[in-house]
A and B are shown apart, each in its own frame.
Chain A
Amino acid sequence: MAKQISLTIDNQVITAPEGMLIVDAAKQAGVNIPVFCYHPKMEPVGMCRMCLVDVGRVQVDRATGQVVFDAEGRPKIGFGPKLETACTTPVAEGMVVVTDSEKVKAARKDVLEFLLTSHPLDCPVCDKGGECPLQNLTLAHGPGESRFLYADKQHLNKRVPLGELIFLDRERCIQCGRCTRFQHDVVDDPVIGFYQRGRALEIVTLSEPGFDSIFSGNTTDICPVGALTTADFRFGARPWELKSAASICNHCPVGCNLTFDVRREAAANGRTVIKRVMPRQNEQVNEIWICDRGRFGHHYTESPARLTRPLVRRNDELVAATWDEALALAAAALKDAPPLLLAGGRLSNEALFNLRQLTEARAGQARLYTPMSGGAVAIQAGLSAGSNLGELGKGDAILVVASDLHEEAPLWWLRLKQAAGRGAGLIVLAARPTRLDKFARFVIRYAPGGEQAALAGLLAGEGEAAAAFAAARNAVVFYGSDGLDLVGSEQLAWLCAELLAKTGHLGRPNNGLVPVWPRANDQGAVELGYSPAENLPAALRSAGLVWIAGADPAGDDPELAAALDGAGFVIVQELFLTETARRADIVFPVQAVTEQEGSFTSGERRVQRFYPATAPLGEARPDYAVAAGLGQRLGLALADQSAAQVFDQLAQIVPAFQGLTFPALAEAGPQWPEIGRADLYYGGTSYDNHQGLGAHLAAPAVPLRLPEMKPTPAAAAAGEWTALPVTRLYDQGALLAHSELLRGRLAPAAVWMHPATADQRGLAPGQMVEVLLSGRKVTRQVCLDADLPQGLLIALR
């Protein structure tokens, strides 16, 4: 920890770490120094000149090097002739900072007058109006009127698409460079930049497609004016008309904290609709950022294709029915046969709990629908309570195995990039290049099927990477399923756990294993007793009753569709009439995450609450209530009044959740940097967190017991026409299919290979080719990727 020094800011004596910038030290002391270009998450540039303050320093005699004292024996303070930028000047012992003198007030007024000479003053139609730092700071510090002749205003293009997601209004831009610095320095996507100079300076995109970054939306949050707006929210609503609901992103296992901003609209027949998705601060999870999938991928919740009434099969046709009818029919079916429950990882903890309770009561099996395994390992060896990736740095090690984090869990990628920047030793083990390699101290490449051997090398202590990992103060391992199946990923998980155990990196904060699941609550499902089915087609075919919630096996895989056709009675809980739902005997319409309350367990084993943002669509009910309704008819009392009630039961029964309550998950404390509505000028429009930072699950008391490892399966997957299954952020999944905005970014149904590999096989780009993917034959279009190792084929799952 840095040495603490004391200084005076506006007659208030405060302490701050040596080297902290004046602007931050003042903020901690409750003194707001106005800024535009400065942002606490980025390096200062001192461009906007808004933060000018008077800085006095302890005077030192040049000849003797001794402090000069005044008549009263106090160190003499010397003020320079110029004001200084508080955002670039570090605090020092004895410094005296004045932020409220007439000189400083005049400077603020002057700088604001300058900024406003070029500003269009179109606040009445500006998206930022009402939450605009320029507007707020002008009211607080600016001149009442301008001496600049309105006729001299420069007029510029007000609708410049930097890409299809982000628009630039050139007149409003104050050239603070927050957006360009965010893209260059924070997320390493230098796809926008300044062009020209002086008043002609403009933000341009440098990529094709335009503004090609999965983090682009964040620039609209930190833009201190209305220059950058999202295609989603542009001219959509005024900020003060919006009501906010706290939520958790359900698109990946990171669990980013979100805010859904909603408004009741005539255009939506008086319904409350989501106007925008904003990050909500959780410095232990997503800080103040989210990825564009989380921001723009919410439209499925309001799709007209959503199911709004229960459906039952009559005369081989699904027809609308009442809830009573449908529940009675389903309950009758459940009475006859033990269910095979197949649940998806996008369900809440509460839904998964009630579904499992009823399934067990009916002697059925609770299965998680997932291409990845190893959750049981994560229960024993998962990231310990009290961990924060933001604390990893020098002396720590992070190992990432078989995962393309930039595509699978963007915020984890960002957090690891930052940890590497703080000095953490990053080791990447992968079959192919990923965006994390650049920040890694060691990159270990293996041939498909060679991941276990590569890990065995680390376990055996071979090489520098192994030594660095073993010697690390703290160590975290992320493992994924890139190119792997259930067996492969489970064995990988065990090996990772063994490595952590062997090197003494378990049971302490900032140590442990993080599975990179494909879904938001896969880890929650595992914690609640779900496990993947080893042979799902066979299990489906032989089941008398299949109960599927939040999963679409028939849509994903023709073999599973065929298997489902062979199953007995099929009950489905769904948002949409999926291929699976089409094959059901009963379909229950369920609420989207935006309509209900509940909790998710992230890959870090952090349980976090989400809250309802909009009214349920039609007759849709929460998944947990569907299970409870069935339970009621089968003599099993399950909580059905609220998610909180379900969670209380869950916490009593499931040991890892013991002691947790909804109120406890809703606890929030002070976070640094301070952001939020009162601090828009400082942190941007990300929301501060009053609705809960969540809580880590407890580790089980039993020590890790490593199984006898099965021998590595022969590299059956390495056939010439076998493609490795991989995950892309913008996939072809059910959720993104309804977001028009992201349509152009969806990864094609393709098989990617090195140009030389295509040549060798006589393939041309665009040609259709049959490949083996996860054990089934699929036809995919040939796409070239010169970064891939030769001979390797990859395809979306």
Chain B
Amino acid sequence: MTEYLLLRHRDIPAIDQLAVYRENGGFAAFEKALKQLQPGDVLTAVKASGLRGRGGAGFPTGTKWSFLPETIWPHYVVANADESEPGTFKDREILERNPFQFLEGLMLACFAVQARVGYVYLRGEFWPLTQKLNRCILELEQAGLLGDHVLGTDVSLRIYTHLGAGAYICGEETALLESIEGKLGQPRLRPPFPAVSGLFARPTVINNVETLTNVPLIIARGADWFRTLGTEDSPGVKIFSLSGCVNHPGNYELPFGTTFRTLIEQYGGGTPDGRAIKAIMPAGASSTILVADAQTLDTPMDYKSVAAIGGQLGSASVIVVDDSVNMADLVNQTVHFFKHESCGKCTPCREGTYWMAHITARLAGDQPDAQDAALLGSVARQMQNKCLCALGEFSTMAVVSALEKFPQDFGIS
């Protein structure tokens, strides 16, 4: 890697200062869009770049933007900075160290969908970061980059931060919207989709922080340039949050298509004491657990290739599990997380996570009941396809895959 694109502060440490960011080409893309391009041009460029959402689902960003009806106004753009998935810590680094690139991306998204207001929804624990972001926004207003008559044009644009109150569910985009509206953070029914009826029942785009941070690059350097990075299916670079049983955990900005093995061994420095890698969770606690055989380790990390081996790349928070870990313990951890974070709106998730947590606690403890392993699988499958939102379904992923792939860890021979 010759140059950092998203974690630019690693090349230019003071890039969190507006002047430094601008000296290094910052806001040129935004100014270009504002003065030379039409909103549709920005949308077309993002579509052509093949940029996919970095929050987990990998939905094409340009397509998402194009869903907003031109008949209902105003439009809103919301940046999802509720980074709460266990094992995911990439947005935090962007926000802490390279905030202006993210804000420029958000402003470009607002321009593209003709929104005059953008929101940044941050998880509650990010309150010091929110203060920093608020200062950045103030600086942008003082510099004429936000406010009325942005850069002397007729465009009016404002950005507000909104702090969550400590709920994982508020990372789910419709629960996030409820939370901004001042309501209890619980997911909404779909349809209607946020693109038609989102924030304050108006058309709304919700994008992940990392996704938006890519946008200034696409506008500045072009979609074709962007497509030279990564793979055909997953263009660009990705910040992989590496954690678990590795010597050098951390964020690694690498092109899509880098293999698990390269990430773990070359960048992560392998496992402590060189233990064997037992399993990989490529998408944090929500992952289907992958057996870390040679095929898995050599799988390129892009949406298509990981799906092909039965996993999901998600937000690319790669948790490495070595052979010192008992899967019953690991599943007990993930299930307790989901039990703690279940919003309680729908029955299967509320009751299922509560029930599973009782069972996994026994399985991870000393006195599991003979039926417990079978019961755990049954309860997890009983939840599947019945939950109101994806998070309920996520809570079963690790359970079902661990039981299937590591039965011996649950006392099943």
Q: Which residues of A contact B (CB under 8 A)?
A: 44-50, 52, 81-83, 88, 107, 110-111, 113-115, 117-118, 147-149, 152, 154, 174-175, 193-194, 196-201
Indicate which residue in A44, A81, A197 contacts B344 across the interface (CB closer than 8 Å): A197
Known A-B contacts: A83-B386, A149-B358, A194-B344. Give 9 more (CB < 8 A): A48-B346, A48-B347, A49-B386, A52-B386, A107-B386, A111-B348, A114-B350, A198-B341, A199-B350
Chain A residues lying within 8 Å of B352, measured Cβ to Cβ, are 114
Least Cβ–Cβ distance between B132 and chain A, in angstroms: 28
A421 smallest CB distance to B (angstroms): 16
Contacts of A175 in B (CB 8 A): 344-345, 350
Say whether B189 contacts A198, CB under 8 Å. Answer: no
| Shortest beta-carbon distance from A152 to chain B in Å | 5
Closest CB in chain B relative to A33 CB, distance in Å:
15
CA of A149 to CA of B341, assembled, Å: 22
Q: Complex formed: what's the CA distance from A562 to B38 in Å?
A: 85
Q: Is the CB of B342 within 8 A of A199?
A: yes
Out of B189, B342, B344, B355, which one reaches A45, CB within 8 Å? B189
How many whole Å from B147's CB to the nearest CB in chain A? 34
The total number of A-B Cβ pairs within 8 Å is: 90
Q: Is there an interface contact between A114 and B385, defined as CB atoms closer than 8 Å? A: no
Given the contacts A81-B385, A110-B382, A115 and B375 also touching, CB distance less than 8 Å: no
CB of A201 within 8 A of CB of B351, answer: no
B169 in complex: contacting residue of A49, A149, A197, CB < 8 Å:
A197
Chain B residues numbered 157-185 whose CB sits less than 8 Å from any CB in chain A? 167, 169, 184-185
**Which residue of the partner chain, among A50, A82, A88, A201, contacts B350 with CB atoms under 8 Å?**
A201
Does B339 touch A at the CB level, under 8 Å?
Answer: yes
Q: Any chain A CB within 8 A of the CB of B353? A: yes
Q: How far is the CA of A52 from the CA of B385 in the complex (A)?
A: 10
Asked whether, in the complex, the Cβ of B385 is within 8 Å of the Cβ of A83, the reply is yes
Instruction: Identify 26 residue pairs between A and B in the complex whose beta-carbon atoms are under 8 Å apart, listed by A's number.
Output: A46-B346, A49-B386, A50-B347, A81-B385, A88-B189, A110-B386, A111-B348, A111-B386, A114-B348, A114-B350, A114-B382, A117-B354, A117-B355, A148-B355, A154-B354, A174-B347, A194-B184, A197-B185, A197-B343, A198-B340, A198-B341, A198-B344, A199-B339, A199-B344, A201-B344, A201-B350
Which 6 residue pairs are nearest across A and B when measured between Cβ atoms?
Answer: A201-B344, A114-B351, A198-B342, A198-B344, A82-B385, A152-B358
Which residue on A lies nearest to B349, using beta carbons?
A198
Residues on B with beta carbons closer than 8 Å to the beta carbon of A201: 343-344, 350
Docked-complex contact B355 and A47, CB < 8 angstroms:
no
Tell yes or no: B136 within 8 A of A by CB: no
Please, which residues of chain B bring their CB within 8 A of the CB of A46?
189, 346, 388
Closest to A50 in B: B347
Cα distance A193–B347 in the bound complex, in angstroms: 18
Is there contact, CB below 8 Å, between A49 and B347? yes
For B184, give the chain A residue with the smallest CB separation: A194
Q: Which residues of B contact A81 (CB under 8 A)?
A: 385
B350, A198: Cβ atoms under 8 Å? yes
Inter-chain contact A114/B388, CB cutoff 8 Å: no
- In angstroms, Cα B388 to Cα A47, docked, is 7
Name the residue of chain A whose CB is nearest to the CB of B169: A197
Supposing A45-B189, A46-B189, A148-B355 touch, asked if A200 and B382 sit within 8 A by C-beta, the answer is: no
Contact yes or no, A117 B346, CB < 8 A: no
CA distance A45 to B375 in the complex (A): 30
Residues of B within 8 A of A (CB): 167, 169, 184-186, 189, 339-348, 350-355, 358, 375, 378, 382, 385-388
Alpha-carbon distance A201/B375, docked complex (angstroms): 25
Q: Whole-angstrom distance between the alpha carbons of A677 and B388 in the complex?
A: 30
Partner of B354, one of A45, A111, A194, A198: A198
Tell me whether B355 and A114 are in contact (CB under 8 A): yes
A201 to B353, CA, bound (A): 14
Q: How far is the CA of A114 from the CA of B356 in the complex (A)?
A: 11
User: What is the minimal beta-carbon distance from A24 to any residue of chain B, in angstroms?
Assistant: 16
What is the bound-complex CA distance between A624 and B15, given in angstroms? 92
Q: How far is the CB of B388 from chain A (nearest CB, A)?
A: 6
Q: Kindly list chain A residues whose C-beta atoms are within 8 Å of the C-beta of B184.
A: 193-194, 197
| Chain A residues positioned under 8 Å from B386 (CB to CB) | 49, 52, 83, 107, 110-111
Bound together, the chains give a CA A648 to CA B346 distance in angstroms of 56
- A111 CA to B349 CA in the complex, in Å? 10
Give the distance to chain A from B396, nearest Cβ to Cβ, in Å. 13
Residue of A nearest to B355 (CB): A117
Asked whether, in the complex, the Cβ of B344 is within 8 Å of the Cβ of A117, the reply is: no
One of B339, B342, B351, B382 near A118 (C-beta < 8 A):
B351
Contacts of B346 in A (CB 8 A): 46-49
B355 CB to nearest A CB, Å: 5
- Which B residues touch A83, using CB under 8 A? 385-386
- By CB atoms of chain B within 10 A, which of A110, A152, A193, A198 has the most? A198
Question: Once bound together, how far apart are the Cα atoms of A201 and B169, in whole Å?
Answer: 14
Q: Given the complex, which residues of A lie within 8 Å of B355, measured CB to CB?
A: 114, 117, 148, 152
Residues of B within 8 A of A45 (CB): 189, 345
In the docked arrangement, what's the CA distance between A50 and B346, Å? 10
Contact B347 A197 (CB under 8 A): no
Q: In chain B, what residue has the closest Cβ to A52?
A: B386
B387 contact set on A, CB distance < 8 A: 49
CA distance A154 to B352 in the complex (A): 14
Q: How far is the CB of A39 from chain B (nearest CB, A)?
A: 15
A48 and B351 alpha carbons, distance in the complex (Å)? 11
Contact call B388/A197, Cβ cutoff below 8 A: no
Give the distance in Å from the alpha carbon of A110 to the alpha carbon of B353 in the complex.
Answer: 14
* Residue of B with least CB distance to A118: B351
Would you give the shortest CB distance from A605 to chain B, in whole angstroms? Answer: 41
**B394 to A: closest C-beta gap in Å:** 15
Chain B: CB-nearest residue to A151: B358
A111 adjacent to B347 (CB under 8 Å): yes
Alpha-carbon separation in the docked complex, A82 to B342 (Å): 21
Instruction: Let me know if A49 and B344 touch, CB within 8 A.
Output: no
- Chain A residues near B343 (CB, 8 Å)? 197-198, 201
Task: Tell me the smallest distance from the CB of B376 to a CB of chain A, in Å.
Answer: 11
Smallest CB–CB gap between A615 and chain B, Å?
Answer: 46
- On chain B, the residues within 8 Å of A52 by CB distance are 386
Query: A21: shortest Cβ distance to chain B, in Å?
Result: 12
Closest B residue to A199 using CB positions: B354
Q: What is the bound-complex CA distance between A107 and B385, given in angstroms? A: 10
